[in-house]
Chain A
Amino acid sequence: MQALARYRGTFVFLVTLLVGFLILGTTGSEAQRKRGKQAPPVSVQTPQSAEPEIKREQQPGAKESVEADVSARNIAVTSSFNGTEIVIFGAIDGSQQPSPESGYYDVIIVVEGVPGRLVVRRKGNVAGLWVNTASAIFDNVPSYYAIASTRPVEEIAPEEFRALHGIGLTHLKFTPAIGQKDAISTEDLKQYREALIRLKTSERLYVNRDHGVAFTGKSIFRASIVLPANVTVGPFDTKVYLFREEKLLSRFQVRLTLEREGMERFLHSFAHNLPTIYGFMTVLIAVSAGLLASTVFGRSAH
């Protein structure tokens, strides 16, 4: 107890500072959230953000048009975030389908995350050790890509259409970055590309569900996709394509946004925007924890 009295001054000072930081933290994130509600954060993202949230496009001559929405347009990544499932549902206006099971129409749904730059590295054996020896950089790699359809997309849409619109994992439109560190042969590039898709698929960040879209009525369909816990935050474009006999009839696009919220948001932006102060805060917490331990337990761990 004597020791406690002796260091009380320092201890009280540190605890006060810590509490101060926490109050600052919560009010800061409150303010940010309020601001976030009025105007969606423009942050680091892509030209995507400048586009409207909803887009529709009707093919000339087509009688049917498609509309869709997602179960949640704004998803919060909080400290308890462990992935989430979203439902995409849509309806066909002027549907001529006799029954839900008839397969009269085909629907493709693509959910695509923020494009970014990624490095793919390949390990090689150097003097008996497995070390990263070569790499390739890709631009416009979607952070997340899910595709669901009424049947395999190869049967729904012609090859040229899929290539043009980036439909299907093989037609993802990411490109090798200009100014690679190493010169890469076409064959190697193909390997890197395949490895990227394979790794993203194994992390459940790239998803392909051939029969993931189901008609629940003559004009109503739905699909569900899973956003895993490791997904990158940002806007996600959800594109819905309506097909009939390999011909596009109508297109619809809606955006959903995944955002950090509360403590998550505060700590992440704190760590990246005020890194030095964040470092000091971490040190302060560590020192307080150590002092607390030695006063509570009365003796040191050493």
Chain B
Amino acid sequence: MQFYLPVAEMSANILVFLAMGGAVGFLSGMFGVGGGFLMTPLLIVAGIPAAVAVGTEAAQILASSVSGALAQWRRRNIDVKMGLVLLAGGLVGSVLGVQLVGVLRRLGVFDVFVSACYVTFLGVIGVLMLVESINAIQKSRTGRVVSGRRPGQHNWVHGLPFKVRFNRSKLYISAIPPILLGFFVGLLAAIMGVGGGFIMVPAMIYLLRMPTQVVVGTSLFQIVFLTAATTILHASQNYNVDVVLAVILMAGGVIGAQFGTLAGERLRGEQLRFLLATFILLVCARFAWLLIARPAELFSVSVAGNA
């Protein structure tokens, strides 16, 4: 079933993109990740221009994060104050990132830049997760218990000025690290078309040492507002948000996520992480190959001003 996408200006098969949304939704439901870092590369591989993939994906992440954030809100698992501080940095990062996308598109290097970013991030995260999950699997076989966070420990983060009290997180730390973290994630969100949860969550746990129960909620809270702002910025400055494509992906994603959540409950945590790590490394390898292999056609044509 063909459908003409108004902004991407291409004819696309609805079923293919519905299935793609469903598959990524399934994975994101199963692993509890946002899915942006899987969806954007898949869209690019499927022939959607990189810039349109990034802009449209922001809208889809928004849709899939809203329900999660709402659920966390009901359980009072959101540190609003921390979320707002992260968001302050995030919005600055997003504005800058959207500008950067525009500049890179005009220079004709956006596609390569995005690919390089994906290879780096997917590679690092994939390897880290793989090692961690293999260790966890081995430990669970030998019967040892894996120890979690050790509370009360201090690191360099606690020595910085501008200290703020975050009641919900039971923290009294400088506002600088969360603002910088927010900025970095905002930049990534705009350039790579991701929510950034896969960086935000570990950073909150290990760097800011926030209590685990508010980490996911607070991350989702700031992702909702960040992706909303990023969508509007992309739409107004780069004209690269395709609402039709976004709606197709949302529909697939919402349905896929429901089944993914069910499937995720049947699998063990470390096995899940092992599977996800393998999948991430496969996507990474695909992007790396595109960058390294000599392309069959060295030339490309585009409308002046776009990538």
Contact = CB atoms under 8 A, between A and B. Distances in A.
A130 B292 contact: yes
A25 B303 CA distance: 28
B239 A301 contact: no
Interface in B261-296: 261, 291-295
B299 A293 contact: no
Contact of B303 (A116, A199, A268, A282): A116
Contacts of A280: 232
Interface string A47-89: 0000000000000000000000000000001111111000000
B4 interface: yes
Residue of A116, A198, A263, A282 with highest tally of chain B CB at under 10 A? A282
Interface stretch (A90-98, A117-125, A162-170, A243-251): A117-125
A192 interface: yes
Contacts of A82: 2, 4, 11
B202 interface: no
A129 interface: yes
A78 B4 contact: yes
Interface in B102-117: 108-109, 112, 116
Contacts of B3: 79-80
B29 A118 contact: no
B66 to A, nearest CB: 3
16 contacts: A83-B11, A118-B301, A118-B304, A119-B302, A129-B291, A230-B9, A263-B6, A264-B4, A275-B236, A278-B235, A279-B241, A287-B62, A297-B254, A300-B67, A301-B64, A301-B257
Interface of B: 2-4, 6-7, 9-11, 25, 28-29, 32, 59-60, 62-68, 70-72, 74, 108-109, 112, 116, 216, 220, 228, 231-237, 239, 241, 243-244, 246-247, 250-251, 254, 257-258, 260-261, 291-295, 297-304
Interface of A: 3, 7, 77-83, 116-125, 128-132, 135, 137, 191-192, 195-196, 198-200, 229-230, 260, 263-264, 267-268, 271-272, 275-276, 278-283, 285-287, 289-291, 293-294, 297, 299-302
Given A128-B292, A302-B65, 5 more contacts: A117-B303, A131-B112, A282-B241, A283-B232, A302-B220
